[in-house]
Amino acid sequence: MYRSWALQDIEVCPILLPGRESRLSEPPIDNMPELLEKLAAAIRPYTDLPFAFFGHSMGAGIAFELTRILDRHPRLLVASAARAPQYRTNLEPRPDPPDADLLDQLSRLGGDREALAAALPILRADTRLYRNYRFEPGPPIPVPIAAYGGMADPNIRSEHLEPWSQLTSRAFRRREFPGGHFYLETDPDAVQAALTIDLADLPAS
């Protein structure tokens, strides 16, 4: 989906994690520290140019934690369809749910159950990674944050997006779009237009 995005004067660089598409033969990573270490090593060579992060759902938490450990910061962090990390403070680890329960949870977000079942090993690694992720409070990041969400998302509402504002010492903006958890597919042009505006209006300093 991200490869189809066209932002004026901005190169879109999707991150493909292990276990997906052309990396299907690689085992998926199911713990945050290992994933952050590998992502930081891969991204650092490109941070001499201005850049921004867009993270959807679990990707929002990954993008936030990556911003915290990089020496050079993005101009903007867009957290999409994700509760603010503060909701993941002091959570007790939970066991993996049975396949049927996991598919029920994911299909309620709008996914096709058959397609989800085919991708179950990857989805299980993803949900394990985020289920075991714990937010460690720290200083606000010196990066503007824009929190995006779908108006009909059954799990992520305005009150879950707003606390992202507490994690930045710069500007904050909240946007909500028609659609559910995968609102990006409902009106991608509107999302890209908003992103273009926010990249221009929310400078890092």
pLDDT value, residue 71: 94
Per-residue pLDDT band for 42 (boundaries 50, 70, 90) equals: very high
If one looks up domain 2-201 in CATH, what number appears?
3.40.50.1820
pLDDT value, residue 203: 61
pLDDT winner (highest mean) among 23-32, 104-113, 145-154:
145-154
pLDDT value, residue 113: 84
Q: How far is CA 183 from CA 35, 176, 186, in A?
A: 26, 9, 5
Closest CA to 56 of 109, 107, 120: 109
Domain boundaries, the chain: 2-201
Has 22 been annotated as catalytic? no
78: tokens are 């867009």
Residues 51-79: pLDDT tens digits?
A: 999 999 999 999 999 999 999 999 999 99
Q: What is the DSSP string of 74-131?
A: -S-EEEES---GGGGSSPPP-PPPPHHHHHHHHHTTT--HHHHHHTHHHHHHHHHHHH
Say which residue the tokens 């079942």 belong to.
Answer: 117
pLDDT value, residue 127: 79
pLDDT value, residue 189: 95
- CB 46, CB 53: distance < 8 Å: no
Closest CA to 124 of 28, 15, 25, 18: 28
pLDDT value, residue 202: 65
pLDDT value, residue 197: 94
Residues 82-119: pLDDT tens digits?
A: 999 999 888 776 777 888 888 888 787 777 788 888 87
Residue 43 in this model has a pLDDT that exceeds 60:
yes
Cα–Cα distance between 81 and 150 in angstroms, integer?
Answer: 7
pLDDT value, residue 192: 96
Q: What is the mean pLDDT of the chain?
A: 90
Q: How far is CA 163 from CA 111, 147, 154, 175, 179, in A?
A: 27, 9, 18, 13, 21
Beta strands in the chain (DSSP E): 53-56, 77-80, 145-150, 172-177
Residues 155-184: pLDDT tens digits?
A: 999 999 999 999 999 999 999 999 999 999
Residue 205 in this model has a pLDDT that exceeds 60:
no
Which among 22, 25, 57, 169 is annotated as catalytic?
Answer: 57
What percentage of residues in the chain have a pLDDT greater than 70? 98
- Alpha-carbon torsion angle 53, 59, 61, 67, nearest 10: -30
Per-residue pLDDT band for 48 (boundaries 50, 70, 90) equals: very high
Q: Which residue has the higher pLDDT, 80 or 205?
A: 80
Q: Which residues pair with 158 in a beta bridge?
A: none
Residue 44 in this model has a pLDDT that exceeds 70:
yes
- CB 125, CB 35: distance < 8 Å: no
